[in-house]
Amino acid sequence: MVAYGEFRSGYGGDKEDTRMVFFGLRYILETYLLRQWTIEDVEKSEKFYRTHMAPAMTSFPFPKDLFLRFIEKHDGYFPIKLEALPEGICVNAHVPVYQITSTGEFAPLCTYLEVILTMIWYPTTVATLSRRARDVIEAAFEQSVEGGAVSPLVPSRLHDFGFRGCCTVEQSVLGGVAHLLNFDGTDTLSAAYYAQFELNDGEPIGVSIPATEHSVMTSWPSERDAILNMISHFGSGIFACVMDSYDYAKALAEVVPSIAQAQKGAGGYMVLRPDSGDPVEAVIAALEAAEKVFGVDTNSKGYKVPRGCGVIQGDGIDLQKLSEILAAVLEKGFSAEAVAFGMGGGLLQKVNRDTMSFATKLSHVVYADGTPADIMKTPTGDSAKISFPGSLAVKRVGGVPTVFPAEGGHVALEENLLKVVYDHGPIQNTWKNFKQLRQQVAQEWAALPKAADVVSEPLAEKVAKVRHDRHI
């Protein structure tokens, strides 16, 4: 039995930009597939399934003997072969990102493992969303910032604010690390820690700055006192202060001018953080206050850059709102470098498996009598859900990862991007460190067409033949 997993659309169903960043395989592989099953596991599973059948809580089918046999024959490891694309690769929709093969008596294990492997949708979707946000930010930088899209400021412009909104620490790691493929700003410490010590040989990956939140601001006798305390500790560097604990307009009009001389004397960079109201209006108000209090310089592209002051908007940010804010900032004549963003729920929570339509589909079976059959799904009225038949391979054609039948000599072993990462137990895998993955994502995303036909001619011919033979 052979099954494969694919993303069927771009982020949010986008048809113009179907690129994606494949990520998260290593975590799922090392956490779940490399775990050895024991007889105790099988006994617990049997007990569970004895009471799982509705409505009377009676016995549900469970192949106990099958699991006992692979414990005996394969030392408790799943007797399947898993092929997958390299992590950090960028591909268009409908390219298989993994392929599972199980044979003989263990063929049903394809179905058992589908659920776990399908969870690759989450880190891949977050990585793609984060990369799409970087596209928007880079375009604004290209228009309004000296240095353009390659400015060293770009990696700090989208900050992960999502830790407390996650449902588990594990989710924060999977999503937060995916974001770090594209940016280095994060307050999701679990992800920064994991990326540094588990994926990057101990070298730092994620960074942040000192920043207040509302409890800090309201604990002081006044907002002015709170800000002066920040200046005394961090004024020579970069720090942020939330400004809407009481009256945002008054804070901009009265409090910020009252601390201006102290901040100018410290010589660092103060970031104003609005956290309520209309995000577009709040950012523009902060920039105009910064211009009035600290002054601005006009860069070579004709855009205003506040002196020693900027804004971070972390409330209500998603891809659409981020785009709207940047458009308004540029329209008001300010440079995009004056604004950064914090994205919390919009980054790590407001995605699901349907965001990029991830699915795992059966593609080949061998029946009990030895007859092989290529399998495909062709639902009426939804061409996006058509699946590919047979065992598959992926190779670059003109730089674009393209899908071929595995048989027929179309793809040499060394050309196939689907590499074996697990084969009836652990194998020796060579994983790139996180810094290398970042570089790979940046290069491949820029080079890959926004949309592409990834179905090779041999596969198209096979699809037509299977449809005909099965009277589809």
- Per DSSP, the residues of 451-468 read S---B-HHHHHHHHHHHH
pLDDT of residue 263: 97
Residue 136's CB: how many other CB atoms inside 10 A? Answer: 20
The predicted-structure confidence for 10-49, as pLDDT tens digits, reads as follows 999 898 899 999 999 999 999 988 889 999 999 999 999 8
pLDDT of residue 472: 57
Place of tokens 């730092």: 204
- Per DSSP, the residues of 54-96 read TTTTB-----HHHHHHHHHHHTTS---EEEEPPTT-EE-TT--
- Can you count the helices (H) and strands (E) in the chain? 16, 17
Which overall architecture, per CATH, does domain 209-338 show? Answer: Alpha-Beta Barrel (3.20)
Segments of the chain with pLDDT less than 50: none
Q: How far is CA 311 from CA 22, 288, 375, 401, in A?
A: 32, 11, 54, 40
Residue 367's CB: how many other CB atoms inside 10 A? Answer: 8
Of 353, 462, 423, the closest CA to residue 100 belongs to 423
d(CA 172, CA 190): 7
| 380-389: long-range contacts, CB 8 A cutoff, minimum separation 24 | 384/8, 384/9, 384/357, 385/8, 385/359, 386/463, 387/6, 387/359, 387/361, 387/362, 387/363, 388/4, 388/94, 388/96, 388/361, 388/363, 388/455, 388/459, 388/463, 389/363, 389/364, 389/462, 389/463, 389/466
Q: Which residues of 41-51 are buried (b: 16+ CB within 10 A; e: fewer)?
A: ebeeeeeeeee
pTM: 0.95
CA atoms within 13 A on the CB side of 460: 6
Of 31, 22, 32, 25, the closest CA to residue 112 belongs to 32
Looking at residue 157, what DSSP letter applies? S
pLDDT of residue 381: 67
Three-class DSSP category at 16 = coil
d(CA 73, CA 38): 12
pLDDT of residue 189: 97
Residues of the chain with CATH 3.20.20.70: 209-338
Six-digit token string for 305: 């850059």
pLDDT of residue 271: 98
Q: What is the 3-state secondary structure (H, E, C) of 236-296?
A: CCEEEEECCCCCHHHHHHHHHHHHHHHHHHHCCEEEEECCCCCHHHHHHHHHHHHHHHHCE
The predicted-structure confidence for 211-269, as pLDDT tens digits, reads as follows 999 999 999 999 999 999 999 999 999 999 999 999 999 999 999 999 999 999 999 99
Task: Report the relative pairing of strands 269-273 and 309-313 from DSSP bridges.
Answer: parallel
Instruction: CATH number for 2-123+351-469: choose from 3.20.140.10, 3.40.50.150, 3.10.450.50, 3.90.79.10.
Output: 3.20.140.10
Residues of the chain with CATH 3.20.140.10: 2-123+351-469
pLDDT of residue 112: 82
423 DSSP β-pair partners: 81
End-to-end CA, the chain? 21
